[in-house]
Amino acid sequence: MSAQSSLAGSPVVAEVDFAAKGRQAGHLRVPQSRDDSGWGTIPVPIVVVANGSGPTMLLTAGNHGDEYEGQVALLDLARTLKPEQVQGRVIIIPAMHYPACAAGKRLSPLDGRDFNRCFPGDPFGGFALSLAHYIDSVLLPLCDYQQDLHSGGTGMDIVASTAGHVLDDAGLQAKTLAMADAFNAPVTMLLREVNAGPTLLAQAEARGVVALSSELGGGGRLNPANLAITRRGVANLLRHAGILDGKPEITTPSRRMTVPDLAHYVFAPCDGIWEAADILGSSVEAGAPAGLLHRIEDPTGPAIPLSYAATGLLWCVRHAGRVKVGDPVAVIARDL
Amino acid sequence: MSAQSSLAGSPVVAEVDFAAKGRQAGHLRVPQSRDDSGWGTIPVPIVVVANGSGPTMLLTAGNHGDEYEGQVALLDLARTLKPEQVQGRVIIIPAMHYPACAAGKRLSPLDGRDFNRCFPGDPFGGFALSLAHYIDSVLLPLCDYQQDLHSGGTGMDIVASTAGHVLDDAGLQAKTLAMADAFNAPVTMLLREVNAGPTLLAQAEARGVVALSSELGGGGRLNPANLAITRRGVANLLRHAGILDGKPEITTPSRRMTVPDLAHYVFAPCDGIWEAADILGSSVEAGAPAGLLHRIEDPTGPAIPLSYAATGLLWCVRHAGRVKVGDPVAVIARDL
Amino acid sequence: MSAQSSLAGSPVVAEVDFAAKGRQAGHLRVPQSRDDSGWGTIPVPIVVVANGSGPTMLLTAGNHGDEYEGQVALLDLARTLKPEQVQGRVIIIPAMHYPACAAGKRLSPLDGRDFNRCFPGDPFGGFALSLAHYIDSVLLPLCDYQQDLHSGGTGMDIVASTAGHVLDDAGLQAKTLAMADAFNAPVTMLLREVNAGPTLLAQAEARGVVALSSELGGGGRLNPANLAITRRGVANLLRHAGILDGKPEITTPSRRMTVPDLAHYVFAPCDGIWEAADILGSSVEAGAPAGLLHRIEDPTGPAIPLSYAATGLLWCVRHAGRVKVGDPVAVIARDL
Amino acid sequence: MSAQSSLAGSPVVAEVDFAAKGRQAGHLRVPQSRDDSGWGTIPVPIVVVANGSGPTMLLTAGNHGDEYEGQVALLDLARTLKPEQVQGRVIIIPAMHYPACAAGKRLSPLDGRDFNRCFPGDPFGGFALSLAHYIDSVLLPLCDYQQDLHSGGTGMDIVASTAGHVLDDAGLQAKTLAMADAFNAPVTMLLREVNAGPTLLAQAEARGVVALSSELGGGGRLNPANLAITRRGVANLLRHAGILDGKPEITTPSRRMTVPDLAHYVFAPCDGIWEAADILGSSVEAGAPAGLLHRIEDPTGPAIPLSYAATGLLWCVRHAGRVKVGDPVAVIARDL
Amino acid sequence: MSAQSSLAGSPVVAEVDFAAKGRQAGHLRVPQSRDDSGWGTIPVPIVVVANGSGPTMLLTAGNHGDEYEGQVALLDLARTLKPEQVQGRVIIIPAMHYPACAAGKRLSPLDGRDFNRCFPGDPFGGFALSLAHYIDSVLLPLCDYQQDLHSGGTGMDIVASTAGHVLDDAGLQAKTLAMADAFNAPVTMLLREVNAGPTLLAQAEARGVVALSSELGGGGRLNPANLAITRRGVANLLRHAGILDGKPEITTPSRRMTVPDLAHYVFAPCDGIWEAADILGSSVEAGAPAGLLHRIEDPTGPAIPLSYAATGLLWCVRHAGRVKVGDPVAVIARDL
Amino acid sequence: MSAQSSLAGSPVVAEVDFAAKGRQAGHLRVPQSRDDSGWGTIPVPIVVVANGSGPTMLLTAGNHGDEYEGQVALLDLARTLKPEQVQGRVIIIPAMHYPACAAGKRLSPLDGRDFNRCFPGDPFGGFALSLAHYIDSVLLPLCDYQQDLHSGGTGMDIVASTAGHVLDDAGLQAKTLAMADAFNAPVTMLLREVNAGPTLLAQAEARGVVALSSELGGGGRLNPANLAITRRGVANLLRHAGILDGKPEITTPSRRMTVPDLAHYVFAPCDGIWEAADILGSSVEAGAPAGLLHRIEDPTGPAIPLSYAATGLLWCVRHAGRVKVGDPVAVIARDL
Ligand SMILES: [Ca+2]
Ligand SMILES: [Ca+2]
Ligand SMILES: [Ca+2]
Ligand SMILES: [Ca+2]
Ligand SMILES: [Ca+2]
Ligand SMILES: [Ca+2]
């Protein structure tokens, strides 16, 4: 028998009413069968604040569980946002891929899945696919805006950036750039849309939602400077959309950049310990040394020197000291 | 090379001839590649008893490996049913999801799959999907009736019930109810068909087979009273279909009930040890205490009281003492 | 570096002061290094209630994590016991092998250890050995009495019993029997001391503490009748020791029994599903059928009949339906 | 964000230019996200040698990681083949399912997948599906010929054979047989195409590529005699296609055989140690003893005798001594 | 509670009476607690045949689970040996490290232990240590002779040999050599006793038992020629001891050899696929090529040539094609 | 058989001759049996540089595999140190717990062991215990000085420090402090010796070697500033011992500090995301806020504020954003 799944159009059930006004806190209840609990569920916390009339914005973090700036900024917002401040609707999911967030891991401790490769999902494909299906088919259709808050995770550190796609739809593109300008991260990263993979961002775009992803730091830690950027960026987005009063607070305008091809990556050719030549955010030149890869298996052989193959901003660096063959140790961005 | 898969229309091969009369015992041979046996197979025992003319009934148990009443009742039937007793055909698979049955687990020890979310299957998707595909595409088309014998498993204890869906097809619905009446479990549970999930029952219905699931006890044990209900129920079904002589033995008529929505569930709001206020089968009232959740992490804080949100029969209770957040600890049924 | 371990004589640090009067709740902080937290600890909740003068009793549960009567009875006691009720000292550890309790498993999810085979422990041998060493070397020397509250766990159901050893020391033996009489479980199980294994009970005896183990139900669930016996038993022990006022509440005197040898066990000769002939607590005869072992791999062969080889009380039965070769399915006790 | 996946039509990026002439060595860079490297990749070595005009042949080994003759033969070819020897193009992937090859296992150490059941793949389905998708959608369209070099792996030893399908397309069939004749393995195994499963061979055929699989020994080792057959066979194919100068070296013409049905298999009816009656390559008779299955659980019961059910060549034998129920211990081939 | 452990001097209980005459088959019942069976046991089959007067010989196989010649030879003996053939006592344990034998693995599937590094054991240290303790403390004291039947296992193939130690006790040494001569394997390998490690052989010697280990083939398979040597060798030992009538059947006298130091090993300096230059049993010269190590990570670099550093018999070779850094690929023996 | 273990007094064999002069690079070959390589070894790289007369210093890093400053500093030294620079002997093991270093993990990927809790080891207790036994019993007796280079690892970031114990032996204490002064890390941490745990440092002290541990950064990364401190510190030690010419380069004298008790730790009372109030190296006050613990399970409840209980230097902070109950998030040091 499948008692729960018979109760709704998707096996996921929300404890909040998206059509109601005011402030609600509850869960998305996602089935997760265990050997000792056949009808077990995993409740994913969700907060909805709605008032008056205005657009709907979906704010998500914890797509990857080891990316913390977004989770904390949204927990703060969820604790403090009052209906009377709002015109429209804000849907907040601070720890979306909940099992990964609870473990502090990028990938699911249940099945190793990368949640951001699970869209548009499958209602009965397991926790991650089932939740992705719900977000895509139930939540995105409610939305005008969507911001998914990422950082670089355990392995990478990244210059705080929002990230969007180069879109065929000029109108949607303009709205996306305006949204990124309002967020006002130091960098706005624009990547080609072709074959973006089954991400939440790609799915939001496919549904015509004005949407951004982001990379707001990393290194597996909560960086205070990046947390401040994230908190301000989220408030800016709500102001930009007219959901909160006021104008976005803009410091230096965001720098629009891209990573055009694989030549802007430096990959580790073998396992080793990475000693970088430059710090995150440096300006680097093609041909210059990127760093040394030290090999513990051969203490008398030389460390392996790697060089940049492109000129630009050292936008992303390997954080973790130990790297495996094929890991990127540096990514260069250039201005658009 | 894939030598075996070239031998038949599905990689699953039956050692029995479904068109033959008499009694046959053999296996469904399902490929399962291992590192040390590339062309390994898992043989799933199957017994077919056919004679004269009459309908075909597929009897299955061990869809979940830790549900025992059905497995034992079908092993008994497989041992004892003689062709001369039969008009028609009985196909018996006492331990369907064989690796889970051999492990005494709900989910597959091979890949964690819930077999009852694997339909309609995939011929090359691994053991569970491959077997589900065979049952759906080869066996169900042979059938007039299908009974899948479940219990509550390790985690739950349930008032012995057959279970069916509310169907759009009035004719099929009437036949289903007549089948449930004949089985004569204490309860007949009827659930809405919408989004039933990829179960064997849903797939049987989709193929127009008169079909039931069931919940015949649980607690991870073989309950003698429920085993007696199951044995009699199975015999009743065969009599009802005219495959065996005689009429179903009916004691008290089965009570038709439903679980209409999530308000009929009580979920654990956090991990703990569950102390239930009532025993399985009690009549309970909305607002009454359902029990206490004891938290080992805080021995000086109070136990958490939970209440029922609906009135009805305490149809399903948590068996295992330790619960995780999101586990149902009680499910209430109401009469139709 | 090992910063923490340098702070005390054992790496385990108590947040409570065992010499202080009044009521304290805190933790035993046991080091447990993880890849992402080198100096991580697991805090095990402990409550101490001391007042006036009188003996010290150590009450423990959760030695095995899937045994619930003791855990809940001690959580209740920890919540409610007030210093002014006490003459002496009560040390309460309701969920001793904490990782196993949090998982609801008999054995440690960290390393598979059975905590009750870890005594007298090893201060740096990992969580279980380190905690066992602390309990043995720091707590037991403080004690006059020790009661370790067990049940049968996931696999077994047992007639509610305290359990002690046949001891060479007649004085200690008499005190132990008096303690068991006071607990007033339906059965007092006495086993030979020889080679008892490295259990908490054996270690308490070795230190001259008047000590009991117990088996207070099982089946992986919290049984209300057994919980009532346990709550009353614990209160009785405190009254017996003079720590609480009043006399033990005695119903029917406890029946003193033993399991003299392996002939009192029935073991499964192969894997299968166990169908018992009798219910727990039955009087059974040597030679009578104990039940049937049903084999899913051979649905046409006969179920395997097993018989009792001894006469007595069916003191312990297999709960879980699926058994593996070598599992006991029945244990017979006889009166002393 | 998914920076890499935006760089190309598939997330897999080749470091070689398939349109260029000369000799190139590089990698197929396949994304594999890890908890500590979100944008990690696994580089799969690939060598391309192209010159003048002529057909394209894709040579692959390491589809299963524990099959060594093909891997070593292609490593040799990759080291030594010079552009000036070639008319056309040779694409060499010596260790295709790279993680399995690095582990020396049939199945993936990442997710247990059998790479030869992953076609036609899925660009974002994980390493194996993503690589299979690239090979199918990018590489096969470039090809006139494809040879996938298998052996029997850890579990089986097989008479050195190429293997193809019985095809509806007579022209493709003739070219396939000519290709197999040129390879000149001792046996050419032809199997029915129906339901071949999602293999590289089936996908190559579906794209109209003249294609073969093979079984060139096994037993988990590198057999020198089979390595010699494989090296010569690969060179013969290149000559046959006109890519290398000269004619194939033919010794004894290859024997065309088939395995018509399951009666040509002997399966283990239970776990045990297999003692074969005959050696690989023997001529065997239906009804003759195939060997004995020794059961360690019952040292006083008889070993279980198994017999052949068909007459022919003992084409494949179980190598590993320990077998599980359902493992094939012998496969008989008959001449076409 | 620990009901079972209180029943005997070790928690292991034998179902056979070692003092009785005649033929008995039963088990050593070794406790193995599981989450779902706290008092579970693993029964290890044992057969004892005793008659008249004479010495006691303990014959064991399955010390490592993937070594098959000894297991099958002892299963044959256990099936056929009759009391009337015997003067003295034969204790046969055909599959000693039972969980490893059932899995067909060298190491324990329970905890990864190598049984032959578990002596003299620990009665409560888990299955392997508990069984080792029983064999050492209960069985070895009963014995005059002990033969432990090994082969090379999955990874290695070895010239069929018995193996003993160079002993300080000249009398024991002479008896050991006589025992080895009687077994009449092609090679008698003698190794220095110093620091032999905690093996069954070392423990038998420490107790003054005339004892041998052996290496009777390997490659993870059952080799018929080696099985014949093993069967004859076991019968020869029983004749040599006077337990069976008759004289040992001696073919060519066994060649006494040793492996004096690490220079007689060839180790893999990195991971790769091993292509040996010579076959097992060849005479090889120091400085000659031992083979090539092929590296899949670098298809254009050369294979790595390895050479022998000693002259002698190629006594042991790597069977499995894939090797890891540090694996021996060849071991050279020289005549004593 | 145990061929290798018979070759030397410990199963570990060194490929270098510690008595020889000049520069040698080789391995410590430590047995590690695998299912597919019974006599497999793990070679641990070691470099020895000896010349003239003078003391012996053992330099080790990679005791925990995710601590990188020491590994890289010693790889540099191993690559560059020439015999003619040396008076005495330098033994360098840059990646001691090799499997953990290769994985970039604190604990062993083989068995989860913390290498720094494995001393004094056990020759046959598995890789870590076997290597620890060799280092203790073979290498430490050769040494006058020992420096074990640690950092904070994945979970913690620590002010660069050497670390030693408060010792009873005043002479050894003075030499230890002089050694620490020479290393000249910003902080010299002194901890009480009592119950230091089974570390390499404690074992070196027990053997009378002048020895230090250290904490040279952390956060799972290679910090350039800390790498510079480490390189200079190692050179300083060699100068201090007279092995290299010249005097230690001293910048600001090292600050001698201690962590006196658990009140100097701040522990997480539950799981959450840690937002620190201060950065590493701050001066903090008892009672001041240490930070906030954000809980994803309750987005509307407040974050949990934690405070310091001691005044001093914020010597160690939690790096990883996600913490579990019992993890230290801050450690305060005070001046001695
Ligand atoms: Ca991310
Ligand atoms: Ca079920
Ligand atoms: Ca217990
Ligand atoms: Ca293959
Ligand atoms: Ca062996
Ligand atoms: Ca460390």
Q: CA nearest D23: which of D94, D99, D95, D77?
A: D77
**Would you state the pLDDT for residue D192?**
81
Chain B: nearest CA to F240, how far in angstroms?
52
Please, which residues bridge with residue A306 across strands? Answer: A291
The structure tokens listed for E291 are 């083979």
User: How far is it, in rounded angstroms, from Cα B128 to Cα B107?
Assistant: 10
Cβ contact (<8 Å) for D196 and B35?
no
**Would you state the pLDDT for residue B194?**
53
Taking the CA of C316 as reference, the closest ligand is 3
pLDDT tens for each residue of B297-310: 999 999 999 999 99
Cβ distance B177 to B114 under 8 Å?
Answer: no
Mean pLDDT across A59-66:
98
Chain F contacts of B325, Cβ < 8 Å? 297
Cβ contact (<8 Å) for A273 and F72?
yes
Q: CA nearest A188: which of A207, A168, A163?
A: A163
Nearest CA in chain C to E31: C326
* Domains in chain D: ranges and CATH: 4-257 (3.40.630.10), 262-335 (2.40.50.100)
Please, which residues bridge with residue F211 across strands? Answer: F146
Looking at the predicted structure, is the pLDDT value of residue A303 above 80?
yes
Cβ distance D87 to D97 under 8 Å?
Answer: no
CA A102, chain centre distance (Å): 16
User: F212: number of CA atoms within 13 Å, CB side?
Assistant: 30
Q: CA nearest C16: which of C29, C26, C31, C30?
A: C26
Q: CA nearest C232: which of C109, C21, C78, C69?
A: C69
Looking at the predicted structure, is the pLDDT value of residue D117 above 90?
yes
**Distances from the Cα of F277 to the Cα of C332, D233, E134, F267, F283, angstroms:** 63, 69, 59, 15, 12
Using a CB–CB cut-off of 8 Å, the residues of C that contact D are 270, 297, 325
Instruction: Compute, in angstroms, the gap from residue F154 CA to the centroid of ligand 6.
Output: 10
Cβ distance D241 to D145 under 8 Å?
Answer: yes
Placement of tokens 């005008």 in the chain: A144
Cβ distance C166 to C193 under 8 Å?
Answer: yes
Looking at the predicted structure, is the pLDDT value of residue F196 above 70?
no
Cis peptide before A120 (omega within 30 of 0): yes
User: How far is it, in rounded angstroms, from Cα D68 to Cα D73?
Assistant: 9
Torsion over CA: A188, A192, A196, A201 (sign): positive
- Secondary structure of A216-237 in the HEC alphabet? CCCCCCCCHHHHHHHHHHHHHH
Q: Which residue among B192, B198, B328 sits closest to A6, beta carbon to beta carbon?
A: B192
Chain E contacts of F29, Cβ < 8 Å? 262, 267, 326
Which residues, at least 6 apart from B169, have a Cβ–Cβ distance to it below 8 Å?
none
Q: Which residues surround ligand 3, an ion (CB under 5 A)?
A: C 64, 150
Share of chain B above pLDDT 90, in %: 95
**Would you state the pLDDT for residue D195?**
55
Please, which residues bridge with residue D310 across strands? Answer: none
User: Residue D37 carries which DSSP code?
Assistant: B
Kindly report the number of other CB atoms within 10 A of residue F170's CB atom.
8
Amino acid (one-letter) located at F4: Q
Chain D: nearest CA to E103, how far in angstroms?
8
The structure tokens listed for C204 are 């308490």
Share of chain A above pLDDT 70, in %: 96
Cβ contact (<8 Å) for A94 and F299?
yes
Q: Which residue among E95, E276, E299 sits closest to D296, beta carbon to beta carbon?
A: E95
Decide: residue D82, CB within 10 A, 0-12 exposed, 13-18 middle, 19+ buried: exposed
The structure tokens listed for A25 are 């806190």
User: How far is it, in rounded angstroms, from Cα F141 to Cα F135?
Assistant: 9
Chain C: nearest CA to B336, how far in angstroms?
31
Nearest CA in chain E to F125: E117
Chain C contacts of B320, Cβ < 8 Å? 104, 154, 220-221
Cβ distance D248 to D303 under 8 Å?
Answer: no
**Would you state the pLDDT for residue D196?**
65
Nearest CA in chain D to E292: D72
pLDDT band at B195 (very low <50, low <70, confident <90, very high): low
**Distances from the Cα of D270 to the Cα of B43, C151, D243, E110, angstroms:** 10, 37, 50, 22
**Would you state the pLDDT for residue B170?**
95
Length of chain F as a residue count:
336
Q: Which residue among B66, B195, B328 sits closest to A5, beta carbon to beta carbon?
A: B195
pLDDT tens for each residue of B33-64: 999 999 999 999 999 999 999 999 999 999 99
pLDDT tens for each residue of B104-129: 999 999 999 999 999 999 999 999 99
Mean pLDDT across F231-255:
97
User: How far is it, in rounded angstroms, from Cα B171 to Cα D302?
Assistant: 57
Which of C300, C323, C329 has the highest number of chain B CBs within 10 A, making it the mutation to test binding with B? C300
Chain E partners (3+ C-beta pairs within 8 A): A, C, D, F
Say how many CB pairs under 8 Å bridge A and F.
Answer: 137
**Would you state the pLDDT for residue C194?**
53
Which of C37, C98, C130, C138 has the highest number of chain F CBs within 10 A, making it the mutation to test binding with F? C37
**Would you state the pLDDT for residue A242?**
98
The structure tokens listed for B240 are 């009802």
Chain B contacts of C219, Cβ < 8 Å? 219, 221, 319
Mean pLDDT across B86-101:
98
pLDDT tens for each residue of E265-311: 999 999 999 999 999 999 999 999 999 999 999 999 999 999 999 99
pLDDT tens for each residue of D131-155: 999 999 999 999 999 999 999 999 9
Mean pLDDT across B210-238:
98
**Would you state the pLDDT for residue E193?**
60
**Would you state the pLDDT for residue B24?**
98
Instruction: Compute, in angstroms, the gap from residue D173 CA to the centroid of ligand 4.
Output: 22
Taking each helix axis as running N to C, give the angle between helix B170-183 and helix B224-240, from 0 to 180 degrees, rounded to the nearest 10. 130
Nearest CA in chain E to D295: E75
User: How far is it, in rounded angstroms, from Cα D235 to Cα D228?
Assistant: 11
Say how many CB pairs under 8 Å bridge C and D.
Answer: 4
Q: Name residues of chain E where pLDDT drops below 50.
A: 1-8
**Would you state the pLDDT for residue A306?**
98
Secondary structure of residue E198 in the 3-state scheme: coil
Taking each helix axis as running N to C, give the angle between helix E224-240 and helix E170-183, from 0 to 180 degrees, rounded to the nearest 10. 130
Chain F contacts of C6, Cβ < 8 Å? 165, 191-197
pLDDT tens over chain C, length 336 residues: 333 333 347 999 999 999 999 999 999 999 999 999 999 999 999 999 999 999 999 999 999 999 999 999 999 999 999 999 999 999 999 999 999 999 999 999 999 999 999 999 999 999 999 999 999 999 999 999 999 999 999 999 999 999 999 999 999 999 999 999 999 999 999 998 655 689 999 999 999 999 999 999 999 999 999 999 999 999 999 999 999 999 999 999 999 999 999 899 999 999 999 999 999 999 999 999 999 999 999 999 999 999 999 999 999 999 999 999 999 999 999 999
Which residues, at least 6 apart from E228, have a Cβ–Cβ distance to it below 8 Å?
none
The structure tokens listed for A241 are 């959309």
Q: Does the ipTM surpass 0.90?
A: yes
User: How far is it, in rounded angstroms, from Cα F218 to Cα A219?
Assistant: 12
Chain E: nearest CA to A327, how far in angstroms?
15
Chain B partners (3+ C-beta pairs within 8 A): A, C, D, F
Q: Which residue among C117, C215, C326 sits closest to E40, beta carbon to beta carbon?
A: C326
Cis peptide before E99 (omega within 30 of 0): no
Q: Which residues surround ligand 1, an ion (CB under 5 A)?
A: A 64, 150
Chain C partners (3+ C-beta pairs within 8 A): B, D, E, F
Using a CB–CB cut-off of 8 Å, the residues of B that contact F are 270, 297, 325
